[in-house]
Amino acid sequence: MALFGTSGVRGPVGETVTAAVALDVGRAVGADLAARDELRRAVVGRDPRDSGRLLVDALAAGLRETGTDVIDLGLASTPTVARAVEWEDAGVGVAVTASHNPAPDNGIKLWQPSGQAYDEPRRAEIERRVEAGRWNLEAWDGLGNRTTADAAGRHADWLVAAVDAEAVRAADLDVVVDVGNGAGGVTVDALAALGCHVETLNAQPDGSFPGRPSEPTAENCASLASLVRESDADLGIAHDGDADRLRAVAGDGTFLSGDATLALFAGAAAEAGERVAVPVDTSLAVEDYLAERGVGVERTPVGDVYVAAAAAEAGVAFGGEPSGAWIWPEETLCPDGPYAACKLVELAAERPLAERAAALPSYPLRRDAVEVAEKTAVMERVREHTLAAFDSVTTLDGVRVETEEGWFLLRASGTQPLVRVTAEAREEKRMAELFETARGIVDDAVGQN
């Protein structure tokens, strides 16, 4: 079983994620830096999960054994860790976090000095080193040092300087921030410095996530939406455990869909002739909204690593995932929830989010999942059928079929024995037809087992 997924190492503590794994990853990362003749300094930070303390200790020990110096940021958001790689003149950043996963999980995610997560070739190299135990350990007088640093203040200062602070202060906004008991306190500090009146929910860091589940979905953020509505706040912001994600609530208490938030950010970031990187499951409404502005889309596999890679290409002004990862490539290739919060406040200072959202197109969309025993074999049959039966088919991530009226996507889950079915069209009737066609393709493929 592969150690690394697209989001690094992630899984239950004591099973997939252990101190032994962290130690070996630290050794492998340090050895890789030495082999590449890169800066042998590593920035390390963690989200509030208590297991992160011992994992950071083990990781730091492995790095130091290879002669790599460690700068420990302590409790820090993942975007703070990613940005601090450059700030601390380091060769790698390591975030010990399971992001939006539940409390029993933890993980390790690796970051390059550009702010981009390790891509597939670099993840594969670290995994090969872990499997083979391929590293050289230093003698007693060659061990790396371990020091501490606080990058949150620098991150907050950068955020304030990166937006139109004068316009935000003049708008005198009331903002509710649901930190989700995570590491996103830097957002509160930055918004307060921008002159916003900030009220918080679940602001005390606690890796058991007692206030709500870590993932900031509409269901999990019902209290935030209610507080925004009842308090007449201008907007609400929600983060996950490590604050790489952001979801938003408009001033009328409406929890904005990920596609709506993507359209708002992308429309503001991109100019005519530019492109926006989005995953294959993004709504057609986003594409239509951007097309009206002369902005094209670059579709990617699902996962912020792939969106970031596409966002790094020339002519791509923004990258985003409806799950809540937002990337401004001129600033950083890391999804930065606190920066997204400041950009959202900047937009709200100019025009209320509810008004902006009301101007977006919205089309009927349906999602479902089919449990399968052999998803790889099923998806191969799905692929063969769709390529033979339809003219416009892409197999970038699963199988996506385009029609004049809409599209459907058949995609295997990365973590569960499921094939996910999504269909969308501009009209309800056509969406239902596309969904039934897509579901039938999966059912037929399953029946051939």
Give the largest Cα separation in the chain, rounded: 72
Calpha distance 4→10 (Å, rounded): 8
Task: Please tell me the predicted confidence (pLDDT) of residue 449.
Answer: 60
Residue 261 contacts by C-beta under 8 Å, 6 or more apart in sequence?
Answer: 246, 247, 248, 320, 322, 324, 326, 344
**What's the pLDDT score for residue 415?**
66
DSSP string for residues in 206-274: -TT--SS-SS--TTTTHHHHHHHHHHT-SEEEEE-TTS-BEEEEETTS-B--HHHHHHHHHHHH--TT-
Give the count of beta carbons closer than 10 Å to the beta carbon of residue 37.
8
How high is the pLDDT of residue 205? 97
Alpha-carbon distances, residue 101 vs 160, 216, 368, 380 (angstroms):
29, 11, 21, 29
What span, in angstroms and rounded, lies between the C-alpha atoms of 319 and 327?
5
| Per-residue model confidence as pLDDT tens for the chain (449 residues) | 578 877 788 999 999 999 999 999 999 999 999 999 888 999 999 999 999 999 999 999 999 999 999 999 999 999 999 999 999 999 999 999 999 999 999 999 999 998 999 998 999 999 999 999 999 999 999 999 999 999 999 999 999 999 999 999 999 999 999 999 999 999 999 999 999 999 999 999 999 999 999 999 999 999 999 999 999 999 999 999 999 999 999 999 999 999 999 999 999 999 999 999 999 999 999 999 999 999 999 999 988 899 999 999 999 999 999 999 999 999 999 999 999 999 999 999 999 999 999 999 999 999 999 988 888 999 999 999 999 999 999 999 999 999 999 999 999 987 678 899 999 999 999 999 999 999 999 999 988 76
Using DSSP, state whether 366 is helix, strand or coil. strand
DSSP 142: G
Identity of the residue numbered 303: G
At 325, the amino acid letter reads A
Sign of CA dihedral 268, 277, 369, 104: negative
Pick the closest to residue 110 from 119, 101, 100 (CA basis).
Answer: 119
Q: Report yes or no: 421 and 443 within 8 Å, Cβ to Cβ.
A: no
Distance CA 144, CA 369 (A): 48
* pLDDT for res 152: 96
85-108: b (≥16 Cβ within 10 Å) or e: bbbbebbbbbbbbbbbbebebbbb
pLDDT at 198: 98
Spatial contact of 47 and 100, defined as CB atoms under 8 Å apart: no
Tokens 């902005």 sit on residue:
295
Domains with residue ranges and CATH for the chain: 9-152 (3.40.120.10), 167-358 (3.40.120.10), 365-447 (3.30.310.50)
The pTM score is 0.93
d(CA 180, CA 221): 9
Q: What residues are labeled active site?
A: 99
Task: Give residue 417's pLDDT.
Answer: 85
Distance CA 337, CA 243 (A): 5
